[in-house]
Amino acid sequence: KIFHRTGSLMCLEGAELLIELGSLLGERGDVKEALKRLQTAQRIYQAEDLLGSSDGAVLLEMIGDMHTKQGSTSKGLHSYEAARIVLKKLDEETGLFLATDESSMLNMKIRAVKVQVVQEREQEWAEE
């Protein structure tokens, strides 16, 4: 319906559809295709100036999850940290987020991926 109404998925409703599709593909194990959908949604959010919203932070975290599942820990870490920056900025404005379970989970993911990145770098150095 969105495509027929607008002629494109490059709108907020299209982004929401792409996020749902990306989530479903990720759950089914098709991480590469999930990441494509989520990154397209990210471009729409950027164009609509929504990446700095709580929904934008969730999208960035989902992208981080997909990168991490693909083994791209540095990219995953970058996305997680971008999500945390958005949430920290929102918390400064509202004071509502950083004490939540979602914030704790994101911080746990960041710590875990940082450990993976360090381990990967140590392994690369050992192989040199």
| Phi then psi dihedrals of residue 72, to 5 deg | -90, 75
What integer pLDDT is reported at residue 13 of this predicted model?
87
Per-residue confidence (pLDDT) for residue 95, from 0 to 100: 62
- The encoded tokens of residue 66 equal 């997909």
Q: What is the largest CA-CA distance in the chain?
A: 56
| Predicted pLDDT of residue 31 | 97
Walking along the chain (128 residues) 10 residues at a time, the average pLDDT comes out as 56 91 97 97 94 94 96 94 91 66 82 88 86
Residue 83: the pLDDT is: 94
pLDDT for the residue numbered 48: 92
Element (H, E) at 85: helix 73-94
What distance in Å separates the CA atoms of residue 58 and residue 3, rounded to the nearest whole number?
A: 24
Q: What's the fold here for domain 2-127? A: 1.25.40
* Domain ranges across the chain: 2-127
Q: What is the pLDDT of residue 5?
A: 55
pTM recorded for the entire structure: 0.81
- Sign, CA dihedral 67-110-28-44, equals negative
pLDDT of residue 104: 80
